[in-house]
Amino acid sequence: MAASNFTNTSTKNHSSVNVATNNHSLISVAMNNLPLVNDVPNNHSSVNVATNNLPLVNFPTNNFPLNNVATNNDSSVHPATNDYTYDDLWLGIMTSPNTDDCEMSSTSSEDDTDTEKLDTTDVLYSLLDVDNQRLNTLVHDKSFTNTINFVLTTITDDVLSIADSILDQFCISILPKIDYNIKSLVLESESMERILLSADYPNLTELTLYNVNDHIVSHHFTVESPFRRIFQEQIADLILVYNRDIHTLSMNPDSEYVYEYTLKLFENLQHLSVIQCGRLLSIDDLSSTTWQSINLTKLCVDVWRFNDCFALLDGRLKQLNTFIVNINYTSDDLSNVYNMDDLPDMKCFSLTCCCETNEYDTRVLPLLRRMIKLEELTLDITNDERTSFIDGTQINDEILVHMPCLRKFIFHIRTKVELRHLTHYASNEDIQRTFTNIGYQQVCCVLNYIVGNVICHIFSLPFAFDYLGYIGNIFPPIDFSRVKELHVHDKIPFEHEYFIRIARFFPLLKELSVINFESQSQTRDNLVSNNDELYPTVEYPNLISLSFQCSHVDYVEQFLNERKTHLPHLTKLMVDYKKLRIVTKNFTRNATRRNCAQVKQLTIDKTIVHTKEFYNYFPLLLFCFCYD
């Protein structure tokens, strides 16, 4: 396939990947490490939510620069009056009598050179009803109030509603005045009822709901719901983001019907995303008349097996053209017969799956070849057992030549091969050359040899996924700022310099798992010299989760010792209890106390009655689990 037929358009500056189809370019959805191609303009600000292992969900919040908004090369945005700009809005905020009461969502230090930004809700709360006609006209402008975001995201990825005092003011004084303009709402489930009951919202068509749970679905997604008219007649785009931790603990038997409830009630639904739901969609045992829709064009969902994926593509979703799917269990038998005709209407497809045996060849490739007019393709695939690597030649011959309309291709394919199957040892350059030979330059290859196996990563550049697993000491010095979860594994020790490199090239890392049974040489040197300050302290400002389940005690020391590593936001820790006691000196060592002080969830290998010193060491601890 000629290189001109497909291009990689993801850019380093994008904080998420967007599926821009029809007119919904402002809502971007990535699921289970599965971003699609980003067409969102670079001047859009956004709120990023990363939860556990699921990738990012990115929703623009209509933030805008206080001093200047560049649109179509104009230096400012002029609303309907055509005689003032957002510069006037900033001046109004600075002189407004309500300024002292305004809680700003974005602030800058004195030496911050970036343009300051305010969220729409901040501006509305500050300025609406101020005795200033020009400002009142501005905040009522349709383009300014068509999307309202009522959620806040913490650095630990908790999603919260805005403060009750602000919410009350919105529900009483603001929303009833602007509801006609509102087309999209971003809500937290606890405050959803108050907000939706405060106004009529005659033009509301898009709803994003965070922290969804079974109660919300069973109580509100029915014909008895007070929001039935909005849900049934108006909503065309629906994004449900579950709180996985809460949902798993509170799941009830009816939660498996969340999909059925939703599809039945929302009759005009065109776009449905269900993210992090503990109940995976499973319809392979249901008739083809179940889970039907004549309107649904975009679907983002987790399913149990390939069978469920094939069932969704058997013709029951007649208008489907964008499909984002994560298949959780791939080793299943195709017990049912499905319609395997071509899918000429499919334009955008994104797949995440882990193939335990030969599913890549027997399931994935035949599925992709049915999408004969596909334009955008994203693959995040793990192959656990193969006898050969997947390289550029294989991808071209098995996938690309069957997709003549393909113009955007983003991928990360990880393949594990036993060394005994290799007839010769290929290098990174050898595999990368197979892509160069088909005219595809923006590709990287990483090989990691571990305990009788070699793991081969091939991925498009820049790296576009929020999860990267099983890289070793050698990885390319490229930007991995999209990665939020990283697993490192090697048979060669990870030295201090390695973790400095990780902090540099993975600057937004939130979850790290270390697998290495070899002692660090520097730790042995430090024991001789009794000097913990031989190396600079590594900073991980965003890291919230650490796992040492299969690690030498040196790596527990590496991360918990504040002289080596600074972890200001660590809230989850998985570690062998004996190693934890050694490193903390029975929970009395000051050098490791600060990095443990914020931990709220501790997972250890045994059940034990803890001492007073233990609880003093973890003053914020809420949960203590056992993984043995």
pLDDT confidence of residue 2 = 41
Q: What is the largest CA-CA distance in the chain?
A: 79
Q: How many CB atoms lie within 10 A of CB 144?
A: 20
pLDDT over 50 (residue 104): no
- Backbone torsion region of residue 129, taken as left when φ is above 0, otherwise alpha when ψ lies between -120 and 50, otherwise beta: left
**What pLDDT shows up at residue 524?**
56
Tell me what pLDDT residue 188 has.
Answer: 95
Distances in Å between the alpha carbon of 472 and those of 458, 499, 522, 535? 14, 11, 18, 21
- Whether the CA torsion 303, 309, 311, 314 is positive or negative: it is positive
SS (H, E, C) 296-358: CCEEEEEEEEHHHHHHHCCCCECCCCEEEEEEEECCCCCCCCCCCCCCCCCCEEEEEEEECCC
Q: What is the DSSP string of 134-198?
A: HHHHHHT-HHHHSEEE-EEE-TT--EEEPPHHHHHHIIIIIHHHHTTT--EEEEEHHHHHHHHHS
Does 101 score more than 50 pLDDT? no
User: pLDDT tens digit string along 164-212?
Assistant: 988 998 999 889 988 999 999 999 999 999 999 999 999 999 999 999 9
Q: Note the residue count of the chain.
A: 628
What's the average model confidence in pLDDT over 524-529? 52
Measured between alpha carbons, how far is residue 587 from residues 17, 584, 594, 611 in Å? 43, 5, 12, 9
pLDDT over 70, % of the chain: 72
DSSP-derived 3-state class of residue 373: coil
Cis before 462? omega within 30: yes
Give, to the nearest 10 degrees, the angle between helix 86-95 and helix 120-127. 50
**Residue 123: what are its φ and ψ, rounded to 5°?**
-65, -45
At 207, which helix (H) or strand (E)?
strand 206-212
* Average pLDDT for 281-285: 76
What's the pLDDT score for residue 245? Answer: 64
When comparing pLDDT for 561 and 284, which is higher?
561
428-447: per-residue pLDDT in tens? 999 999 999 999 989 999 99
pLDDT band at 345 (very low <50, low <70, confident <90, very high): very high
Residue bearing tokens 């109030």: 145
Percent of residues, the chain, with pLDDT higher than 90: 53
Tell me which of 71-80, 127-136, 370-379, 577-586 is least confident: 71-80
Read off the pLDDT of each residue in 240-245 and give the average, rounded to a whole number.
82
Q: What is the pLDDT of residues 316-335, one digit of tens each?
A: 899 999 999 999 987 666 66
pLDDT at 158 over 60: yes
Inform me whether the pLDDT recorded for 74 exceeds 90: no
pLDDT of residue 530: 54
What is residue 4's predicted lDDT score, i.e. its pLDDT?
38
pLDDT at 1 over 60: no
If DSSP codes are grouped into helix, strand and coil, which group holds residue 337? coil
Q: Strand 28-29 vs strand 54-60: parallel, antiparallel, or unpaired?
A: antiparallel
Q: Which residue has the higher pLDDT, 552 or 278?
A: 552
Q: Is the pLDDT of residue 41 over 70?
A: no
**What is the mean pLDDT of the segment spanning 571-582?**
96
Q: State the pLDDT at residue 525.
A: 57
pLDDT of residue 481: 96
**Rounded-to-integer distance, Cα 131 and Cα 137, Å:** 11
Query: How many whole angstroms separate alpha carbon 146 and alpha carbon 120?
Result: 10
CA pair distance 508, 243, nearest whole angstrom: 21
> What mean pLDDT is reported for the chain?
78
**83 pLDDT exceeds 60?**
no
Give the pLDDT score at 335: 66
Alpha carbon distance 465, 446 (integer Å): 15
Rounded Cα distance, 602 and 547, in Å: 10
User: pLDDT (tens digit, 9 = 90+) per residue, 585-627?
Assistant: 999 999 999 999 999 999 999 888 889 999 999 999 999 999 8
Give 390-405 pLDDT, tens digit per residue.
Answer: 999 999 999 999 999 9
Element (H, E) at 338: none
Q: What is the mean pLDDT of residues 254-262?
A: 68
Spell out the residues 6+ positions from residue 328 whose beta carbon is closer than 8 angstroms to its own: 280, 302, 303, 304, 305
Q: Which of 219-223, 242-246, 562-566 is predicted least confidently?
A: 242-246
Say what the pLDDT of residue 293 is.
Answer: 86
| 494 vs 67, higher pLDDT | 494
So what's the pLDDT on residue 193? Answer: 94
Whether pLDDT at 93 is above 70: no
Poorest-pLDDT segment among 239-243, 345-349, 487-491: 239-243
> What residue has token string 């040892």?
425
